[in-house]
Structure 1
């Protein structure tokens, strides 16, 4: 490993013909990956943003590891940049067969087999060692928090529930989240947990280590010169995510309201710590009016794309009209940094019953600048309330009372810590729930059409009208 840590990382992968030789392989492999955001649009080419040799290709008899940041051009225009970790071997062992990407027909990798490197325990161990030793390899910089220790010899495994990113678990000690779609700017999934760790908030696993790449041109004008590529955090052994737990308790007819209330308290604790750690802003009338307009525009665009939503659009629009009216006549609200994509799957309960919140990246489909804006805390709350509805709808028979009880318990728990019950702001809560349901309609229509009925049922309910008036 010492050789990899001290190498410049620049040869032979800096050769321009490398990407040309990988092009036909990536055109087939990339669109099949769960984290590839450009599905349904043809790939027209690739551009190398960064290429680093983490483990020499000439190492014998073991594998090599190439780290690539590749811009994927689609429809003839520059597209997203993705992080790839490519293992390279002469011959692929049978246990790595599912990770096969292909065999280049030409170029510097001709005669080698290229595969998804994360599935190779030796290559995964290399990443952990680089973090442990604060390595500098080519364009990549590995670092860790002061006072933290990373043990050696931890066996790596790829976490099966891959979403918009990929994760490696090392023994029972750490989990390394590798961001796939890379955008310039400060990544909130590192920024916010670091801020919470400084506040002493124990409800979010603190970052142990991370690695970044130099953003040489900063073409987005973000002002940042580092692209966050991965974050290592403590692994919560034996923890169950809130979605799995809710479905399990639903299936056996158990009362979930104590857990929902506890989760509400934890959400309020995290919101309180974020409000103390980072600046808050006031949303005046103009900002609230603009917020309502943006929600209405998303509704119009979604109704255009998903015809099944159109019957409910007029009723849903009243939620945003009511919010806009408050922007004209009501008092301002406070906005702060929040989780940004909170749902039951982003909540973990440990075996001793303690809840934690994870994955502070925000909705990956939204621009990074938007994800880092201060927002009303009710946006996170609406996400959890919608998640309870999803769980209830996935149960047969449908359990609307279960969802209603959990929603009420969650809001009550939140109020116990924050001093403010989200239900006392029904116009704001309805607007954010409606906006979330509209987002869900578009997502399900594109990715999981069998689930479309779930957000459509919420659209029908929310279109029926407000649940009450705003109380002081």
Structure 2
């Protein structure tokens, strides 16, 4: 394995792109320009790709593919796009690219079984005449990637690391398969032992999914899938950039989202599971507060949070006409939060999950409830996702998720509000049992965070799933009512 001189020049300073080796981008560019927008994880759909910049290229297997064996090429690629939403979604200055991680296979001929992985046929340059495809579909290449994770060390700008404990031992030779789940990254499952999350959008700094999972595992938490190995890009930015994490796979587990939908459909009780999930969430928060630094939010920080929430509401209302009649009343939730700060209220802040909902929890035979995907909201900038926040932000996300489950089959279901409220109460009761504090004791705070989440959902559904817009709009109507029995 080598960092190939024919593919790239030397590393560039932090934040700049690397001049490509002659012909590489001119060969791959036309293929990727067509292929990237069709991928589920590509964040820039609907906007033209204007340019590519090669950050790094590392050859993990000889990439000529002419000896009957596949080549394997790792790329970090800056993708430049036009369009007004690019900066809003990425939290960057105008014109700044997103950096994507690609793993490309190359063969002279692509076997029929790999036909769905086809990217295109290279013409010219160092890959001339080869078939280029998505390597994560190829068991031969993903097996090689696992072997590399089993042997910590460095290959070019790729640094592979692993936990050194009996519980993190990675077996040799498990059969790999690419996960078909819809997600903002890609995942490969190895037998029944491990799963590799391959991050697609890359930024300098540790990804919270690795950072928090490692901290929780080392603290002895049983509420996570423990990391066994990882890899990162080094020497390209001011700090390493996390590229992927290999974690324990949890066979026999059931997703909280699927279990909740089944309970709604069959009209069975879910409150016991919701209560236990609340306990598990509180246990994770307590462990994170012990393992990582905490802080206190006072008036300036609270007012800043409230102002950011209000700004997001204004932007969403400008884009979604259905939200406008409720705008003024929703602003009251954020104004009340700001008033708390004015009256001297302080909020404890710590590292949190950052994107908690029913789809981020698994019920396992051995560990009970386990939380997964500590990456935070992928659309938010990495520094923001790593910032301490009030734990109630996670609680609000889960409360909104119960509303979604209740209305998933029928947004206008007459029993949906009652079912959701029962689960919300059970979750908060379980949380209070483990944490010693009940989120419902801070109605102004939880209302502000739940309102902010509902506003985000309205904008998302209006853009991507208009048929689902009635679900968050039902929450908007509820949250726009005056808060009874509490004053800031």
TM-score, normalised by the number of residues in structure 1: 0.95
Q: Which runs of 5+ in 1 are unaligned?
A: 1-6
How far residue 393 of structure 1 moved from its aligned partner, in angstroms, is 0.9
Q: Aligned residue for 1:276? A: 290
What's the secondary structure of 2:227's corresponding residue? Answer: coil
Q: CA RMSD in A?
A: 1.4
Task: Specify the alignment match of 1:461 in structure 2.
Answer: 478
Which residue does 1:234 correspond to in 2? 248
Q: Take 2:74 and 2:265, find their aligned partners in 1: how far apart are those partners?
A: 44
Q: Call closer, same or farther: CA 1:215–1:302 in 2, change over 3 Å.
A: farther
Contact 1:211 1:231 in 2 (8 A): yes
Q: 2:179 aligns with which of 144, 151, 159?
A: 159
| Secondary structure, aligned partner of 1:84 | strand
Q: Indicate conservation of the 8 Å contact 2:229/2:247, yes or no.
A: yes
Q: Secondary structure at the match of 1:208?
A: strand
Match of 1:75 in 2: 82
Query: Which residue of structure 2 aligns with residue 18 of structure 1?
Result: 24
Which residue of structure 2 aligns with residue 3 of structure 1?
none
1:371 CA drift (Å):
0.8
Q: Does the residue aligned with 2:68 lie in a helix, a strand or coil?
A: coil
Residue 205 of structure 1, aligned match among 225, 232, 246: 225
Confirm whether residue 432 of structure 1 aligns to residue 449 of structure 2.
yes
How many pairs does the alignment contain?
459
1:41-80 counterparts in 2 under 5 A? Answer: 41-58=47-64, 60-75=67-82, 77-80=95-98
Indicate the SS of the match to 2:328: helix
- SS in structure 2 of the partner of residue 232 of structure 1: strand
Specify whether residues 36 and 448 from structure 1 end up closer, same or farther in structure 2 by C-alpha distance, changes over 3 A only.
Answer: same
Matched, 1:360 2:374: yes
Distance 1:363 1:9 in 2: 32
Aligned residue for 2:12? none
- Please give the alpha-carbon distance, in whole angstroms, between the structure 1 residues aligned to 2:153 and 2:71: 17
Match of 2:435 among 394, 397, 418: 418
Alpha-carbon displacement from aligned partner over 1:217-272 (angstroms, at most 9, x marks no partner): x3xxxx42x11100000000011111111111211111000000000000000000
Distance 2:111 2:357 in 1: 39
Contact 2:2 2:60 in 1 (8 A): no
TM-score by length of 2: 0.92
In structure 1, what is the Cα distance between the partners aligned to 2:482 and 2:45? 36
Q: Distance in 2 between matches of 1:185 and 1:467?
A: 43
Gaps of 5+ in 2: 9-20, 84-94
Local SS of the residue matching 2:352 = coil
- Contact 1:426-1:467 at 8 Å conserved across structures: no
Please say if 1:174 is aligned against 2:194. Answer: yes
User: 1:349 aligned to 342, 363, 370, which one?
Assistant: 363
How far the C-alpha of 1:451 sits from its partner, in A, is 1.5
Structure 2 SS opposite 1:334: strand
Where 1:29 maps in the other structure, the secondary structure is helix
Alpha-carbon separation, structure 2, partners of 1:83 and 1:352:
34
